[in-house]
Amino acid sequence: MLLNFIFFFRMFTDCFSALFKYIVFYLSNMSFNKISFRVRYGETDQMGIVYHGNYAQYLEMGRIAWLRQIGISYKDMEENGIMLPVISLSINFKKPAVYDDLITVRTVLKKIPSVRIEFDFEIFNESGDILAEASTVLVFMNMKRKRPVKCPDYILEKLT
């Protein structure tokens, strides 16, 4: 009985500690970023709405802005021999965006990166309507060996 209590108490404190770190991480200013821009005419299709393939570019714009917010660019990573290819992309479309809409991409880092870095996104219009929800998974890759590597320390230091 005592061993069961100790086991559950230890499990509870471990879970609470992990939950606390998770909450602090998400409340930190560096875990999310917002960028806003107007839909250009060339991004729309014959139906007058944003072509679905353009949303991947919007997500990339969000990721780049998020990285810049913490003081890192893709160029910096490449100069340090690191690439960051997308290995998974998922988008759920809710409402269409049209030419000249002012849209905002909210980029959220899901968790402290390891070999992978994961983002969630919300794309919404000026009225606050959610247009799309998305997620991406990218992997840190050594440029020379073309093999996955752990997140570089200089990035982790910016997140903690």
Q: Please tell me the predicted confidence (pLDDT) of residue 32.
A: 85
pTM of the model: 0.80
pLDDT tens figures, 108-117 = 999 999 999 9
| Domain made up of 32-159: CATH architecture | Roll (3.10)
Q: What is the mean pLDDT of each run of 10 residues along the chain (160 residues)?
A: 57 57 49 94 96 98 95 93 97 97 97 96 97 98 97 91
* φ and ψ at residue 84, rounded to 5 degrees: -135, 70
Q: Please tell me the predicted confidence (pLDDT) of residue 159.
A: 86
Q: Please tell me the predicted confidence (pLDDT) of residue 6.
A: 57
Map out the domains of the chain as residue ranges.
32-159
Q: Please tell me the predicted confidence (pLDDT) of residue 25.
A: 47
